[in-house]
Structure 1
Amino acid sequence: MVPDNSLFIGGRWIAPTDRETVPVVNPATGATIGSIVDGEQSDVDAAFAAARDALPGWSATSPGNRADLLDSLADTIHDHADELAVLASTEIGMPIAESRAGQAALPEAVLRSTADIARSMKWEYLDASGSTVIREPVGVVLGITPWNFPVHQIVAKLAPALAAGCTIVLKPAELTPLNALFLAGLCATAGIPSGVVNVVTGRGSTTGEKLVRSTDYDLVSFTGSLAVGRHIGSVAGDRVVRATLELGGKSPAVVADDADLEIAVRTTVKNCFTNAGQKCNAPTRLIVPEIDRARATEIAVSAARDYVLGDPLDAATTMGPLASPAQRDKVLGYVAGARSRGATVSGGEPLHGLFVRPAIITDVAEDDPVARDEIFGPVLVILGHRGDADAMRIANDTPYGLSAEVWSSDVVRASNLARQIKAGQIRINGVRTPQPPIAPFGGYKASGLGRELGPFALDEYLEVKAVLGNHVSGEEASCAQQ
């Protein structure tokens, strides 16, 4: 279902023969598993033209029918779940158990929950003034997705955009493009009309820049680094085009003095090292009572040593490789820098290829780069606090505000701490993504603009129109035209 060196435009596989190609490499083995086209301007123009041509028909499709097609896509993903999971593990190096959960089961659940929201949403209603409020699709969407959670990040944009009545041009990361192309084929299998979903592949610096610079989209949704997000936001701002940006994080896990230290630390290590730490909301700063910091470090080091690094397709593997040589070198550079500045470091050694042992770092200043920067690797920093007020100061002392975790045996205390943290999503005592996955996800401060998942995600892709005075409903108007 993924032809070599092909783009998916207007419901067809297009294989340009005169384009530069980019190899797709399995980070666990170094083997080339495929290649993609580095899209040119003509490909960008064709994709946006297909999306624009499909927009009138798709936006006129009833929300209920659009929801039915989302459910059909969810059914198709369910039928191909193993293939998606294996492909994700092969492209990114994510252990197969994590891929099955995050790259197959979660996207399916997001599609189904979004379909349910579309069916129950008030698309047109009278407000207290007697005005008619109408929700309409914003138009053609440009979706740019990262490499770390390839299927989930695509579906987190695709599901609400399609439910809203938008068409979309997707540009996946060049490290993990095959899942996006596979998913495009599944969209066709599920019956989504031609041109509603289009995929253009290529490097971010070439194809991605051409897409961003285009004047043919009405909204851009980006997930990735702060630096690139700032650039995309600037370009969109110049055009007065809406941008939703899910950017970086340096998430704290705050442990109060009444929490079960063993459970809190071991769970934080697990949450931090999912996908080898290549996760925007990973709790990479563990903030424990200073009196317990040495004990917390012992627990974390023990938990980190239990990780089994190896073949991502082996069920016994609990940590795969880093995504690329650049990512490996970045992680090793941060670890070496912390060690040179006197930090206590356990782990962090390079192994063969792109494998790196998970690192636990303590005895480090709060403003040290390992405690401030998003490293995007298996690195956990442990800091000590001297009471709740100090813990809140440390937790909020970051330019980011994507996610946070709070641990306390007292529900009231945990709630009070959660309310004081400036972040878009707070997880109490190890709770993960609830089902259905409709809790809004997104950040404060430099972690971005907008929200994904649930009703708030759908709102990002909608315009709101107010019609004042006498007015007939959309259904009545449609019947009158017929």
Structure 2
Amino acid sequence: MGLINVHSYLGGRWLPADEGARPIASAVTGEPLAMAGQATLDTAGMIAHARNKGGPGLRAMSFHDRARMLKALALELSNHKDELYALSHTTGATTADAKIDVDGGIATLMVYASKGRRELPDGHILVEGDLEMLSRGGSFVGQHVATPLRGVAVHINAFNFPVWGMLEKLAPALLAGMPAIVKPATATCHVTEQCVRRMIGSGLLPEGAVQLVSGGLGDLLDRLDYQDVVGFTGSAQTALMLRSSRHLLENSVRFVAEQDSLNASVLGPDVTQDSPEFEILVKEVVREMTAKAGQKCTAIRRILVPEALMGPVGDAIAAKLGTIRIGDPALETTRMGALASAAQKSDVREKATRIAAECRRLTGDPDRYEVDGADPERGAFVAPMLFACDDPDAGDAVHAVEAFGPVATLMPYRDLAHAGRLMNRGKGSLVASLITHDPAVARALILDAAASHGRIYVNNRDSAREATGHGSPLPHMIHGGPGRAGGGEELGGIRGVMHYMQLTAVQGSPDIISAITGTWIKGAAQPKSPAHPFTRTFDELAIGETIEAGPRTVTLEDIEHFAHFTGDTFYAHMDEEAAKANPFFPGRVAHGYLLLSFAAGLFVEPSPGPVLANTGLDGLKFMKPVSPGDAISVRLTVKRKTRRTDEYGEVRWHVAVLNQDGEDVAEYELHTMNAYRA
């Protein structure tokens, strides 16, 4: 079998590796495997292709169109998982490791597809936050809105997750409407290339939405401007070099980094050797040391335990590590494969030597270990190494040196405050974990350590069955951290999407803001509906159209009947003297939920029609009490519309309940599902 020629996909064409290519060796055998890279790149053409083709193509789609695209891409990649697993073996990843990478990336696409449909509008402008009233009379208001940047996202990814690392950046960028140029690490770029081939071949992406550089970026970063974004995952040293570029600084190019992290796991002071939490910690540590051969930015590097448990914890972890079979990742019996490259093996051994200078080695002889089905000298294999640092206050390397492999250090703490100080000596981490069954311990440690960590994972006997693991970043929540971890937020639900959008304060009249956002706001026009809105389909309803109904007089008999019928005999509804003594009421008043029921009775059209269901309400406020003898009316306005399925969409209505003097007594947002026009 010849060498794999790893192509780039640039300007709508697949370009083979040429005389500028670099060799890639198999992590298992050390033999030449592939060639990747081009001698020259048309970087100006790449950027123009993204800006002039990819950007307009994506921005022409609504948020929901782009969300549907992400889901379709995820389903397409799901059909090709096995080939990606097999190719991943050449990078040292076992099938279980490859599943973390491939399945994790696909799941991230699915989560962003779902969040895009549920949390973003079926339009092109994202409203951020509440409307701001900028004038006393309400004729001048402000709204923050987000729109896609008009540049390109350049994603520079690490070697350890050639699929997930790409897709976790692509998902929020594409959902935002921004094209991307992906640059994977050369050591594992042949896996990324195969994934991109399947995505491009699906025909689901607009032309120019995704480009792939297999090799060096040339002068690409020197051509970016303020509309572009650089997303980086890798070492702090490389991140510093890139983000310090004079060109990036002068042009205020957004730079999002996810970098080194000396993550810690803490065993709570409430845990004993017989507690379920003891075994939970041991399992978490062993999994994080051996999954992906410890090549995870979220892996546990420091293990903090009460002084009395140093021996038992060390013995338990060492015993489990002793059962781990190292070998060819293609073998079913292999539990831990190789590191990604010979260079990575050399780096891990050098960093482990620095840690060993101030620690005791508990397990993992760097020169004596068995490897199944492969030559340990030719392949990038290392044994899991567990160290013990008996004086972590004096230790320096254990809090500063990250061996990016199956290496972790056990250390004691005296009390919870001491544990917090040791955690924070990492100077900023992506994640820390706390294994405790005591809520007070969790709260105290969060107060001490949260400022230095992007995520804190708390696990115990109650959550262990469903907990996702210390080292598993989830697309719903922040993946990033302060300080040495980079200061970024690569994921985090819609927060991640906002990296690729510009937040703008728009000011104007209610009619202007309503037209811009596609959402009716107070003070904007409310044209009378040409027919009862509940008889009009989703397509026929217009934003702002309104129906007014009423009045209905609320009687004392209504209040008493409602009280006895529901069992709500609260004194404000039933006792005149007690109600008068309350500073909020002039005497007996109507139930708030009675008013909602009467309002529904005023605006509901009872006949079968396009309204399929009432699915809830938001933002209910009672603003003024209603006394017996008051008359209420209701004003129902179409506030927002969102397509949901092929059969129906969601309509959100602003409901205002008014008294006989035209004063608001209650308001809320009603949700209905409405059929489309037949």
Task: Using structure 1 for the length normalisation, give the TM-score.
Answer: 0.91
How far apart are residue 192 of structure 1 and its match?
0.3
1:455 aligns to 2:494 (yes or no): yes
Cα distance in 1, alignment partners of residues 386 and 17 from structure 2: 47
How far apart are residue 342 of structure 1 and its match?
5.9
How far apart are residue 27 of structure 1 and its match?
0.2
Cα distance in 2, alignment partners of residues 94 and 112 from structure 1: 24
Higher relative contact order (CA 8 A, sep 6+): 1
Cα distance in 2, alignment partners of residues 65 and 341 from structure 1: 56
1:200 aligns to 2:201 (yes or no): no
Cα distance in 1, alignment partners of residues 333 and 145 from structure 2: 52
Q: Which of 240-249 and 57-66 deviates more?
A: 57-66
- CA gap of 1:3–1:383, structure 2 versus 1, over 3 A, is closer
What amino acid is aligned across from residue 223 of structure 2 in structure 1? S
Q: Which of 264-273 and 319-328 deviates more?
A: 264-273
What secondary structure does 1:149 align onto? coil
Cα distance in 1, alignment partners of residues 355 and 264 from structure 2: 19
- Map of 2:458 onto structure 1: 428
Deviations 1:276-317 (A, max 9, x none): 111111111000011110111111111111111011122221
- Map of 2:312 onto structure 1: 295
- CA gap of 1:60–1:376, structure 2 versus 1, over 3 A, is same
Partner of residue 306 from structure 1, selected from 292, 316, 323: 323
1:405-444 to 2 correspondences below 5 Å: 405-421=433-449, 422-429=452-459, 431-432=467-468, 437-444=475-482
- Map of 2:382 onto structure 1: 356
How far apart are residue 337 of structure 1 and its match?
3.7
Cα distance in 1, alignment partners of residues 105 and 423 from structure 2: 30
What amino acid is aligned across from residue 423 of structure 1 in structure 2? H
How far apart are residue 181 of structure 1 and its match?
1.5
1:17-32 to 2 correspondences below 5 Å: 17=18, 19-32=19-32
1:25-424 to 2 correspondences below 5 Å: 25-38=25-38, 40-42=40-42, 44-54=43-53, 55-90=55-90, 92-100=91-99, 102-119=100-117, 120-122=119-121, 123-125=125-127, 127-129=131-133, 130-138=141-149, 139-190=151-202, 191-202=204-215, 207-208=216-217, 210-215=219-224, 218-235=228-245, 236-259=248-271, 260-341=277-358, 343-350=360-367, 351=369, 352=376, 353-366=379-392, 367-421=395-449, 422-424=452-454
Q: Which has the higher helix share?
A: 1
Is this contact kept in 2: 1:97–1:315, CA < 8 A?
no
How far apart are residue 474 of structure 1 and its match?
6.3
- Map of 2:665 onto structure 1: none
Is this contact kept in 2: 1:371–1:381, CA < 8 A?
no
- CA gap of 1:457–1:21, structure 2 versus 1, over 3 A, is same
Cα distance in 2, alignment partners of residues 442 and 62 from structure 1: 28
Is this contact kept in 2: 1:339–1:345, CA < 8 A?
no
1:464 aligns to 2:465 (yes or no): no
- CA gap of 1:334–1:467, structure 2 versus 1, over 3 A, is closer
- CA gap of 1:192–1:374, structure 2 versus 1, over 3 A, is same
Deviations 1:333-387 (A, max 9, x none): 2333444556334214245132111111014543232442111011110000011
Is this contact kept in 2: 1:88–1:103, CA < 8 A?
no
How far apart are residue 36 of structure 1 and its match?
1.2
What amino acid is aligned across from residue 446 of structure 1 in structure 2? R
Is this contact kept in 1: 2:417–2:448, CA < 8 A?
no
Deviations 1:185-213 (A, max 9, x none): 222233101111000121xxxx2462333
What amino acid is aligned across from residue 127 of structure 1 in structure 2? L
Is this contact kept in 1: 2:26–2:341, CA < 8 A?
no
Q: Which of 58-67 and 4-13 deviates more?
A: 4-13
Cα distance in 2, alignment partners of residues 315 and 175 from structure 1: 24
Is this contact kept in 1: 2:6–2:189, CA < 8 A?
no
How far apart are residue 46 of structure 1 and its match?
2.7
How far apart are residue 475 of structure 1 and its match?
6.5
Deviations 1:248-296 (A, max 9, x none): 1001101112223233123222123321111111111000011110111
- CA gap of 1:12–1:474, structure 2 versus 1, over 3 A, is farther
What amino acid is aligned across from residue 30 of structure 2 in structure 1? G
What secondary structure does 1:72 align onto? helix
Q: Which of 398-407 and 246-255 deviates more?
A: 398-407
What secondary structure does 1:273 align onto? helix
- Unaligned runs of 5+ residues in structure 2 are 134-140, 272-276, 370-375, 520-541, 543-678
What secondary structure does 2:146 align onto? strand
Cα distance in 2, alignment partners of residues 24 and 475 from structure 1: 52
- Unaligned runs of 5+ residues in structure 1 are none
Aligned residues: 468
Cα distance in 2, alignment partners of residues 441 and 215 from structure 1: 25
Cα distance in 1, alignment partners of residues 210 and 300 from structure 2: 34
Is this contact kept in 2: 1:344–1:362, CA < 8 A?
yes
Is this contact kept in 2: 1:52–1:140, CA < 8 A?
yes
Deviations 1:94-122 (A, max 9, x none): 1111211x222211111111122222225
- CA gap of 1:48–1:474, structure 2 versus 1, over 3 A, is same
Is this contact kept in 1: 2:348–2:405, CA < 8 A?
yes
Q: Provide the identity percentage.
A: 28
- Map of 2:608 onto structure 1: none
Is this contact kept in 2: 1:11–1:197, CA < 8 A?
no
What secondary structure does 2:163 align onto? helix
Deviations 1:131-172 (A, max 9, x none): 243211123111000001111110111000000000111111
Cα distance in 2, alignment partners of residues 72 and 339 from structure 1: 49
How far apart are residue 11 of structure 1 and its match?
3.0
How far apart are residue 435 of structure 1 and its match?
9.9
What amino acid is aligned across from residue 378 of structure 1 in structure 2? P
RMSD of equivalent CA atoms: 2.4
Cα distance in 2, alignment partners of residues 414 and 49 from structure 1: 51
Is this contact kept in 2: 1:187–1:197, CA < 8 A?
no
Cα distance in 2, alignment partners of residues 363 and 428 from structure 1: 24
Q: Which of 284-293 and 210-219 deviates more?
A: 210-219
- Map of 2:647 onto structure 1: none
